[in-house]
Amino acid sequence: MTPDTKNKLPNHIAIIMDGNKRWAKLNGLESKSGYRQGAEAAREIVNSCVRRGINYLTLFAFSSENWMRPAKEVQSLMALFLTVLKRIEIAQLNKNNVRLRFIGNRSEFPIKLLAMMAEVEELTRQNTGTTVIVAADYGGRWDLSNASRLIAKKVKNGDLELSEIDINLVHSFTSLGNYPDPDLCLRTGGEHRISNFLLWQFAYTELYFTDCYWPDFDDAQLQIALDDYASRQRRYGGHEGEEGAKVAGRKNRQEMVS
């Protein structure tokens, strides 16, 4: 890590972990082997972020659209999710002061998985180190529609006035309402899109795409992405630096109110 990279580390990294099936096919293996190796890659990247002192890491583990896949494949993904929770060394992460959180629609998840998620969240609740957020059965459009529904309910019940609805309030009702927006989004696998991931939160996020399939994405690949991020000048809609972000935020709030 160069001094420049160290001084410009993102506060929050989001990752779209793509390319598991294609990696398996390339290596003459079944799809489940690709997902299994992808789980190992996730473990390594979590540890890499912890070592670097990254405050927040959000992993896109299971999208809303995954439910449209064949039932057998969905079942395999769910089984993998359980396996990942067991294999990312929860006890060790807890010892390293890592806090684990889950976002997304949990209504379709098996009871066993829900219980394990709740157990992990409770175990790490008081930790103050890196927060690892796992997006499971998550979609950006679902997130926005869910936030809209919650806000509408408060307005209907008389707990909220229409004049009180602004960017900050909407943000507070989204899945990442208690966390800062990602500074950097990484997508592996060669695709150049965000695939319905964190649509609200990516307003000023830097995007980084790599052809590397997720199972091959390691600490060295992460460093390449961080070096690229450090070389960029963030302008937030034309303004530079943190002050620019504040200006852009005020401008957006004013536009919404008017």
Is 64 labelled a binding residue? yes
Q: Which residues are catalytic?
A: 18, 66
Is 34 labelled a binding residue? no
Is 52 labelled a binding residue? no
Is 19 labelled a binding residue? yes
Is 63 labelled a binding residue? yes
Is 36 labelled a binding residue? no
Is 69 labelled a binding residue? yes
Is 22 labelled a binding residue? yes
Closest CA to 35 of 48, 25, 23, 20: 20
Binding-site residue ranges for substrate: 19-23, 63-65, 67, 69, 187, 193-195
Binding-site residue ranges: 18-23, 63-65, 67, 69, 187, 193-195, 206
Binding-site residue ranges for Mg(2+): 18, 206
